[in-house]
Structure 1
Amino acid sequence: MTDKTQKLVLGVIDFLTASIGDGTVKEDDKESLEVAIQCIGEAFGVDPNDAQQRSRLSIKPATLSSIFEVYLKTQASRAASSSSKPAAGPSAADKAEAEKLKQSGNQHMTKKDYAQAIDAYTKAIALDPKNAVYYSNRAAAYSSTADHLSAVSDAEKAIEVDPAFVKAYHRLGCVSYCMRRDACSY
């Protein structure tokens, strides 16, 4: 059994256990659900009471519900963007200038000059607002200045622009972690 599968199973078990505790499940169904939790755990070799295994498999601070919420937002964004009329995109010159600004922002990030990096990425976004990389990079810069709310907004915008851009999900996860732990490094 892979850790990936067991992480998913632990997430399901945690969701079901929380549903028992928060009253989502009717009193008459709690015992059946507890049996199901035990059977699922045994079938996949996951013991939610084993602290060492829980530590290895936990996806915290994320939960299955929070991951599902991101999925739903992504689907809604994808549906909205596919049903809307395509807008004229930036010119080739604008795209080239935006790329130069991104490179400038990256250089500023390397020097830990986050304000200048944010400014460069903001200018790149103004020229090419459909490039998820620019939002994602600006999210990293905002997070580096501990402006986590702006970082969340940019990470979510990057996901909206390109739901397949994995780095944006990473940024969103890191920012969420930072907001809980107030410590993050890129």
Structure 2
Amino acid sequence: MSDVKLVAASIVSFLKKQLDGGTLSADSRESVEVGVQCLETAFELAPADAARALDLLELVRARAAPAAAPAPAPPGEAERLKNEGNDLMKAERHREALERYSRAVELDPRNAVYFCNRAAAHFKLGEHEAAVADCAAALALQPDYGKAHGRLGLALTALERHREARQAYARAAQLEPDNESYRQNLRLADERLAARGERPPVDLGGLLQNPALLSMATEMLADPNMQNLISGLMSGAQAPAGGAAGVGAGAGAAGGMGALLEAGQALAQHMQAANPDLVEQLRRQVRPPGPAPPQ
């Protein structure tokens, strides 16, 4: 039976059920009976065709019924999918890994790790804009996620958005100061910016939040020698109480400047000895583009 004939047989079946129901008026029954005869003649319907007719009323009721809610995923299903994705990434089956991570994201869209892992799969597939979007989603959920900042830097570098990539690497290195990969990528980003004649931005906010810098500052302030130096600097900066301006005032100003320079030199020496890597990072942020000047 063709589809068209099946539809016609289903309509005839529906109309005959209405005739059997006894709910139609006499005039309506006559009209329906005429309609049935016309359809059977026009579509050459045989009695056997009625056995294959669809129940149109049930189909309409099923369509109008609310869809059943999907069954909840088993506990731990999203984590299982993430682990499968990790294994597929190791096997370099990146497209399959992407599919696992996407399903994990659907089950648990509040987990930053799933977005970050999917960003890695997108990156391996050359889908760098998608990788940037997933890293941004991960960081919206977990702003201090060092790995997401690092992967964001890689995706931005692939898009040649080196200034933004440098900011991502700097934040990753700040959050994980022992990660050599982040520091190396930060140096490479500085070199790319310098090659284009651009100075890397000075991230003062990031520096002030740098754990290594905060630790160094705490140690310096606890050092008695440094306390004495700062105390002397502060007392020397006080203007003399009274007296005429002249040679004496000039000598006092010169002394104050000398104390300031001495304090600055002592601070620099202390920082260089305590954490040379951090000092080099500070130099890179304030150094103008071009060849490095003599230190």
TM range (shorter): 0.3 to 0.5
User: Scaled by the length of structure 1, what TM-score is found?
Assistant: 0.46
Higher Rg: 2
User: Scaled by the length of structure 2, what TM-score is found?
Assistant: 0.29
